[in-house]
Amino acid sequence: MEVQVMGSRIMLMGFGNVGKGFCSLLSEKNSMLKEYYGTDTKVTGITTRTRGCIYDPSGIDIDLLLEEEANDPQRSLCELPGFSAICVNSPYELVQKGKYDVLAECTVTSLQDKSAGLDYIRGALSRGKSVITTNKGPIAFHYEELLDLANKNNGKILFEGTVMSGTPVFSTSVNGLCGSSIRSFMGVLNGTCNYILERMIEGQDYSSALGEAQKKGYAEADPAMDVEGYDSALKALILANVLIKTSPLNLEDVQIKGINSLSPEVLKEAIKGKGRLRLIARGQLDKNKKSISVGPEIVPEGHPLYSLPGATNGLVLETDTLGTVCLTGAGAGSRETGFALLNDLVTLSRPGYERRVI
């Protein structure tokens, strides 16, 4: 079958691990995207919080940028050889006036600034653009509003990378299970905590295990987000608000216990017992009463979340059609989360394709 090739111009907000992972996948997969999905992609703008913004409506040379940036990772993008001529000032002006079809938003999620990235997304959707994002805040706290805004302006908003990096949680639960009701979920949604807990069971103390996770690049910018359970709570909020259409829950509705204050008794129990200690996010998705909690639990042998090495994440869904379904895979990583954006981009390129929830 002939595939009709459509141009797709991307405005990228954020050039950290995720943004770079996405760019390098775009470069690697460009010809495949054309051949199989009919998407001819170029990046017209890249904005950062502290390292300037660049914009070229004819397309930025991504390969050159990745190469120059690797040579000098602290420098402003505008100062990298070959990019000074396309330097611009305001990210928000780019969102409002720049030429692009899809806003790829990978601003870092922060609990101090819950609306980080939100105005970019609102701005793009208001212009009828589509948005793909890995930023948990806007989806956890403003999903209904953003979905309405997208629908009103004939745009779309996709966010596969907000939960379990590129592991296709939403594709699987929303498309793969379409026609099912998901009654509850139980997940290991934070790779850092999983990694730390595995090291602690082996006898390492908390702070050296945390240090190791940070060295491996698993930890969030602010480790409190991980170890205090807030990262898992945001992901659970997203799942609860996306997988079932009822009045949305907020962070205050989530019972949260992290792994930073594990009692020695729990740890001792976990070490001598046959189960594995995990930070578990749970959601009950009754139409009339939704509830979410996050806290450490001992998972018994034989449970689908028992074997999750290192930073692997896992999500167990209880459905009314199939019983238990479990998906496990990467929960973090530059390439892995960058892939979530690539997957969302391809999904957008399919006309008429839409994820729906019950």
Does 23 bind its own copies (CB under 8 A)? Our answer is: no
Binding mask 309-328 for its own copies (x = CB under 8 A): x--x--------xxxxxxxx
Cα–Cα distance between 79 and 82 in angstroms, integer?
Answer: 8
Say how many C-beta atoms besides its own lie within 10 A of residue 70's C-beta: 9
**Min dist. Cβ of residue 29 to its own copies (A):** 6
Does 208 bind its own copies (CB under 8 A)? Our answer is: no
- Among residues 27, 76, 172, 214, the one that binds its own copies under rule CB under 8 A: 172
Give the residue with the Cβ less far from its own copies, 179 or 264.
Answer: 179
Q: Which two tokens stand for residue 108?
A: 């870092």
Cα–Cα distance between 354 and 349 in angstroms, integer?
Answer: 11
Question: Which span (28-36, 80-88, 104-112, 121-129) binds its own copies, by CB under 8 A?
Answer: 28-36
Does 342 bind its own copies (CB under 8 A)? Our answer is: yes
Binding mask 274-313 for its own copies (x = CB under 8 A): ---------------------------xxxx-xx-x--x-
Does 76 bind its own copies (CB under 8 A)? Our answer is: no
Helices then strands, counting H and E runs in the chain, come out as 12, 13
Cα–Cα distance between 315 and 71 in angstroms, integer?
Answer: 38
Binding residues with its own copies: total (CB under 8 A): 53
Does 175 bind its own copies (CB under 8 A)? Our answer is: yes
Residues in contact with 272: Cβ distance below 8 Å, sequence separation at least 6, in sequence order: none
Q: Which residues are catalytic?
A: 235
Give the residue with the Cβ less far from its own copies, 176 or 211.
Answer: 176
Say how many C-beta atoms besides its own lie within 10 A of residue 214's C-beta: 15
The crossing angle, in degrees rounded to 10, of helices 136-152 and 230-243 is 30
Angle formed at CA 339 by CA 337 and CA 328, multiple of 5 degrees: 65
Q: Which two tokens stand for residue 69?
A: 């940036």
Does 25 bind its own copies (CB under 8 A)? Our answer is: yes
Residue pointed to by tokens 């290991």: 188
Cα–Cα distance between 9 and 247 in angstroms, integer?
Answer: 35
- Among residues 194, 232, 293, 347, the one that binds its own copies under rule CB under 8 A: 347
Cα–Cα distance between 83 and 55 in angstroms, integer?
Answer: 9
Question: Which span (92-100, 252-260, 267-275, 338-346) binds its own copies, by CB under 8 A?
Answer: 338-346
Does 343 bind its own copies (CB under 8 A)? Our answer is: yes
**Min dist. Cβ of residue 313 to its own copies (A):** 11
Give the residue with the Cβ less far from its own copies, 120 or 339.
Answer: 339
- Among residues 90, 151, 208, 250, the one that binds its own copies under rule CB under 8 A: 151
The crossing angle, in degrees rounded to 10, of helices 206-215 and 191-201 is 130
Give the residue with the Cβ less far from its own copies, 295 or 310.
Answer: 310
> Do 175 and 355 contact (CB within 8 A), yes or no?
yes
Q: Which two tokens stand for residue 65?
A: 């940028």
Does 332 bind its own copies (CB under 8 A)? Our answer is: no
For 147, 153, 195, 258, 278, the CA distances from 313, given in Å and listed in that order, are: 27, 35, 10, 16, 10
Using CB under 8 A as the binding rule, the residues of this chain from 242 to 281 that contact its own copies are: none
Does 24 bind its own copies (CB under 8 A)? Our answer is: no
Give the residue with the Cβ less far from its own copies, 279 or 346.
Answer: 346
Helix (H) or strand (E) holding 264: helix 264-272
Residues that bind its own copies (CB under 8 A): 1, 25, 29, 32-33, 36-37, 151, 165-168, 171-172, 175-180, 301-304, 306-307, 309, 312, 321-330, 335-336, 339, 342-343, 345-347, 350-354, 356, 358
